[in-house]
């Protein structure tokens, strides 16, 4: 199965003073750069969900603004990627969604989430110690083909978490290989401070 990646970078950072999360820097690199680096793939193959409004150019990958639907947030980024790929990719491919504010994304992220799909699962989600991270997930493109139309009609699942549940997503947990949460994300100033200290003390 061919793999495609969308970094969900459209968040407005409302709890951080409306600073774009993608541009926040940790250890000398923006969150967007750190996540892209940890994917270990050609950056030309990366899609960047930039949120509502005009597309914001990206040096990392193809920028995708949200579609004109009532859906916002991270699900809107997945919808935009699905709409983009259905004209360029076969339906037997897999879309990986990655939250831009997970700077310690494990380097085996894609490989581990791909395994359940290769054995018949329709989707898989990343977890650590039982805590699920629905924006860090793998989706069969075949199950995303009609999402833009469903969004316009108001029949789509309201969030990535709900859509994963609808698809019977398999949970993949990194507890056994990571002592610290590899999907720790950044929503508040306290999170920013904690992650900054973690970057300073890490060799990753």
pLDDT digits (tens, 9 = 90+) for 68-85: 999 999 999 999 999 999
Partner residues linked to 138 by β-bridges? 96, 124
pLDDT digits (tens, 9 = 90+) for 99-139: 999 999 999 999 999 999 999 999 999 999 999 999 999 99
SS (H, E, C) 46-71: EEEEEECCCCCCCCCCEEEECCCCCC
- Amino acid 117: pLDDT: 97
Q: Are the CB atoms for 141 and 89 separated by under 8 Å?
A: yes
* Residue 61 tokens, joined: 């990958």
Residue 203: pLDDT band by 50, 70, 90 thresholds? low
* Residue 87 tokens, joined: 């004209």
For residue 43, give the 3-state DSSP assignment.
helix
Residue 3: pLDDT band by 50, 70, 90 thresholds? very high
Q: How many CB atoms lie within 10 A of CB 178?
A: 14
For residue 173, give the 3-state DSSP assignment.
strand
| Distance (Å) of CA 89 to CA 12, 135, 141 | 30, 21, 9
pLDDT digits (tens, 9 = 90+) for 10-69: 866 555 556 788 888 888 889 999 999 999 888 878 999 998 876 666 778 899 999 999
The CA distance from 78 to 199, in Å, is 28
- Amino acid 15: pLDDT: 57
Q: How many CB atoms lie within 10 A of CB 29?
A: 14
Name, in order, each residue with C-beta under 8 angstroms of 97's C-beta and a sequence gap of 6 or more: 6, 8, 74, 77, 78, 81, 135, 136, 137, 138, 139, 160
Name, in order, each residue with C-beta under 8 angstroms of 143's C-beta and a sequence gap of 6 or more: 122, 123, 167
Q: Specify the CATH number of the domain 3-200.
A: 3.90.550.10
The CA distance from 130 to 115, in Å, is 18
- Amino acid 204: pLDDT: 61
- Domains of the chain: which residue ranges? 3-200
């Amino acid at each position: 199965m061919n793999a495609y990646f969308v970094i969900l970078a459209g968040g407005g950072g409302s709890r951080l003073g409306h600073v774009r999360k993608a541009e926040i820097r940790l250890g000398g690199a923006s969150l967007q750069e750190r996540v892209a680096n940890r994917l270990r793939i050609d950056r030309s193959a990366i899609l960047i969900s930039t949120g509502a409004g005009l597309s914001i150019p990206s040096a990392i990958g193809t920028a995708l603004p949200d579609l004109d639907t009532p859906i916002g947030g991270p699900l809107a980024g997945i919808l935009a990627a699905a709409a983009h790929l259905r004209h360029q990719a076969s339906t037997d491919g897999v879309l990986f969604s990655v939250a831009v504010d997970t700077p310690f994304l494990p380097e085996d992220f894609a490989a581990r989430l791909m395994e359940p799909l290769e054995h018949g699962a329709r989707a898989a989600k990343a977890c650590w110690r039982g805590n699920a991270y629905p924006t860090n997930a793998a989706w069969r493109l075949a199950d995303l083909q009609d999402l833009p139309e469903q969004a316009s009609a108001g029949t789509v699942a309201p969030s990535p978490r709900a859509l994963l549940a609808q698809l019977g997503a398999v949970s993949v947990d990194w507890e056994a290989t990571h002592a610290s949460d590899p999907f720790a994300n950044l929503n508040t100033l306290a999170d920013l401070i904690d992650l900054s200290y973690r970057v300073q003390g890490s060799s990753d």
